[in-house]
């Protein structure tokens, strides 16, 4: 069974500061990993994904994440926070492609950006 743990349900940073959102996973097979962002009153939007190619993955809006197998981690970072980054972020893991595989989501981290 796969699972995802997001450390910190709420992270607060100042505008211009580094953003670091933590995600650890467990999976019995090589995982595929995703970060989604949810802006208020909207659905989830894919930020980036790891699918066993490069371990450093770049996504939209200046975000990136690094897959570290030894640490079973997939932390999300952005060098300089912007007010528009305020949202809830979800890490998710899949154990494969195909027609009937599922995503397992973490409980989410709410990012607040202070002026």
Partner 1 sequence: NAGVTQTPKFQVLKTGQSMTLQCAQDMNHNSMYWYRQDPGMGLRLIYYSASEGTTDKGEVPNGYNVSRLNKREFSLRLESAAPSQTSVYFCATSPWGTYNEQFFGPGTRLTVL
Interface residues with partner 1 (CB under 8 A)?
A: 9, 32, 34, 36, 41-46, 49, 51, 90, 94, 96-103, 105-108
Of 17 and 110, nearer to partner 1 (C-beta) is: 110
What tokens were used for 49?
A: 């994904």
Least distance between partner 1 and beta carbon 115 (Å): 25
DSSP letter at 85 equals G
Residue 12 C-beta: closest distance to partner 1, Å: 17
Per-residue exposure over 56-74, b if at least 16 CB sit within 10 Å of its own CB, e if not: ebebeeebbbebeeeeebb
Please list the residues that pair with 67 across neighbouring strands: 74
The residue (of 28 and 99) whose beta carbon lies closer to partner 1 is 99
């Amino acid at each position: 069974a796969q699972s995802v743990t997001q450390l910190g349900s709420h992270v607060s940073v100042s505008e211009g500061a580094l953003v670091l959102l933590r995600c650890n996973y467990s999976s019995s097979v090589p995982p595929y990993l995703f970060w989604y962002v949810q802006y208020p009153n909207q659905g989830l939007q894919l930020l980036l994904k790891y699918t066993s190619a490069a371990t450093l993955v770049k996504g939209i809006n200046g975000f990136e994440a690094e897959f570290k197998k030894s640490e079973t981690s997939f932390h999300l970072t952005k060098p300089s926070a912007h007010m528009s980054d305020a949202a809830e972020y979800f890490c998710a893991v899949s154990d494969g492609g195909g027609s009937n595989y599922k995503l397992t989501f973490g409980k989410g981290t709410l990012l607040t950006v202070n002026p």
